[in-house]
Amino acid sequence: MELFIGSPPDAKFINDILDVARVEIGEMGIREDPIDIKDLFSKCTRMMKTQAENSNLTLESEIPDNFPFLLGDLKTP
């Protein structure tokens, strides 16, 4: 079941809650994908850097090269 209320962010939030309920009752599983946190933070920093500079802020991220991958469900919206 997909539920759409108001704006797309509202719908995503509600659908995420429904996904948690599906996992809890065993209708849906959780994958364990390796997540490269260093790469993720690098992408986020690049995306937000211009906004920070426009506000006279400096945005940096420092993550060690040997930072381990984490496991998480990379389900795409």
Q: Which residues contact 5 (CB under 8 A, 6 or more apart)?
A: 11, 14
Vertex 41 angle, CA 23 and 38, to 5°: 90
Question: pLDDT tens across 32-56, in order?
Answer: 899 998 988 889 999 999 899 999 9
- pTM for the model: 0.55
Amino acid at 31: R
Q: What is the mean pLDDT of residues 54-62?
A: 90
**DSSP assignment string, 22-44:** HHHTTSS----EEE-HHHHHHHH
Which residue is associated with the tokens 């906004």?
51
- The pLDDT, as a whole number, for residue 68 is 93
What does the pLDDT read at residue 76?
A: 56
Listed by start position, the domains of the chain span 1-30, 31-77
